[in-house]
Structure 1
Amino acid sequence: MTAARLVVWRHGRTSWNFEGKFQGQTDIPLDPVGIEQARAAAARLAALRPAAIVSSDLQRAAQTAAELARLTGLEVTYDLDLREIDVGSWAGMTREEFRVRFPDIQARGDAGEDYRRGGDGETVAELAERAEKGLRRAIDLVRDGETVVAACHGLAMRVGIARLVGLPAAYWEALGGLSNCSWVVCEPGRRGWRIVEWNAGTLPEPVLSDDR
Structure 2
Amino acid sequence: MSDAPRVLFWRHGRTTWNVEKRFQGQTDIDLDPVGHAQAERAGRLLATLGPDVIVASDLKRAADTAGYLSRASGLAVEYDKGLRERFGGSWEGLTADELSRRWPVEHARMDIPDGENISEVGDRMTAAVERGIAKTPAGGLLVIVSHGAAVRVGISRMLGIPDERRELLGPLSNCCWSVLQRRGPEWRLMEHNAASLPEPVVLSDDA
1:123 to 113, 117, 125: 117
**What RMSD, in angstroms, separates the aligned Cα atoms of the two structures?**
1.4
TM-score (norm 2): 0.90
2:180 to 186, 191, 211: 186
2:140 to 146, 155, 158: 146
TM-score (norm 1): 0.88
Shift of 1:185: 0.4
Q: Deviation per CA, 1:98-140: give whole Å up to 9, x if none.
A: 1111124235x1xxxx73x252x20112111111111111111
Unpaired runs of 5+ in structure 1?
A: 203-212
Confirm whether residue 161 of structure 1 aligns to residue 155 of structure 2: yes
Confirm whether residue 61 of structure 1 aligns to residue 55 of structure 2: no
Give yes or no for contact 2:85–2:149 (8 Å, CA) kept in 1.
yes
Matched with 1:29 is: 30
Alignment-mate amino acid for residue 95 of structure 1: A
Matched with 2:81 is: 80
How far apart, CA to CA, are the structure 2 residues paired with 1:102 and 1:169?
21
Q: Deviation per CA, 1:4-28: give whole Å up to 9, x if none.
A: 2111100000000000000000000
Matched with 2:72 is: 71
Among all aligned residue pairs of Structure 1 and Structure 2, give the percentage whose two residues are the same amino acid.
47
Matched with 2:202 is: none
- Seen in structure 2, the aligned counterparts of structure 1 residues 159 and 75 have a Cα distance that, compared at 3 Å, is same
Q: Deviation per CA, 1:28-58: give whole Å up to 9, x if none.
A: 0100000000001011100110111100000
Matched with 1:208 is: none
Matched with 2:193 is: 199
Matched with 1:94 is: 95
Unpaired runs of 5+ in structure 2?
A: 197-207
How far apart, CA to CA, are the structure 2 residues paired with 1:146 and 1:106?
39
